[in-house]
């Protein structure tokens, strides 16, 4: 295996067969030791976070596969904290796509003059650039097309997939009486036909979930979802 990229929460290795191996780390994003899925820096290390994140990712990606939703997922080894995936090409230098069900985080920081904390949002989709230096600025459909990152038609596919996947995750959480406030996805193009597909992960590290009005930390979320 050859290390091709070392990110905030996982390392990426190239495999001889053309696929890739993701190694999940115990690092999570946040600020000053406080977890924040929207942060641009590693804020803390939680022992077991990598395996826990992968177990949830495996659960959700396999559920999406059963519903015919395109992803880069091939298989996973939670004990080794590794996941095998198909090669994917990201849009530009990478986009993050957020599906919001309640007004919290950066949405509230930007629009707090008009939005009340925790107010209901109808699966609002927001696209941001992966750009730490500029704090992941939001980008519009028109700007994405103008800059050649994503065509207008591809944007509509991306938006529809985001809402479809977000709603599936929301429904699965609701089975455990857990409410999804927001979730962050990454997408890329896979295969010869450059199909838009979900990549990266779906874990407690990239969502805000609450139970009985209290935020659920990533390790606790994994236990609530997959145990008992």
Q: Give the residue among 91, 217, 213, 86 at the shortest CA–CA distance from 147.
A: 91
- Flag residues of the chain having pLDDT under 50: none
pLDDT score recorded for residue 38: 61
Task: Give the position of tokens 């976070």.
Answer: 49
Q: What is the pLDDT of residues 99-125, one digit of tens each?
A: 999 999 999 999 999 999 999 999 999
Q: Which of 143, 125, 135 is nearest to 187 (CA)?
A: 125
CA–CA gap between residue 59 and residue 175 (Å, rounded): 14
- pTM (predicted TM-score): 0.91
């Amino acid at each position: 295996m050859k290390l091709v990229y070392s990110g905030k929460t996982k390392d990426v290795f190239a495999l001889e067969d053309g696929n890739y191996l993701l190694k999940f780390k115990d690092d999570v994003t946040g600020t000053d030791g406080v977890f924040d899925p929207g942060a641009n820096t590693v804020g803390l290390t939680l022992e077991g976070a990598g395996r826990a994140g992968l177990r949830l990712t495996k659960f959700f990606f396999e559920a999406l596969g059963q519903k015919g939703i395109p992803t880069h997922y091939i298989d996973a080894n939670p004990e080794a904290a590794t996941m095998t995936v198909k090669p994917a090409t990201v849009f530009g230098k990478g986009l993050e796509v957020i599906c919001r069900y309640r007004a919290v985080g950066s949405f509230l920081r930007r629009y707090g003059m008009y939005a009340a904390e925790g107010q209901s949002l109808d699966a609002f989709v927001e696209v941001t650039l992966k750009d730490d230096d500029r704090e992941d600025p939001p980008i519009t459909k028109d700007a994405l097309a103008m800059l050649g990152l994503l065509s207008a038609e591809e944007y509509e596919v991306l938006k529809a997939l985001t809402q479809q996947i977000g709603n599936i995750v929301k429904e699965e959480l609701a089975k455990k009486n857990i409410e999804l406030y927001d979730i962050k996805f990454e997408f890329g193009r896979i295969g010869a036909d450059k199909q838009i597909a979900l990549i990266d992960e779906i874990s407690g590290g990239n969502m805000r979930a609450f139970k009985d009005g209290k935020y659920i930390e990533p390790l606790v979320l994994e236990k609530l979802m997959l145990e008992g």
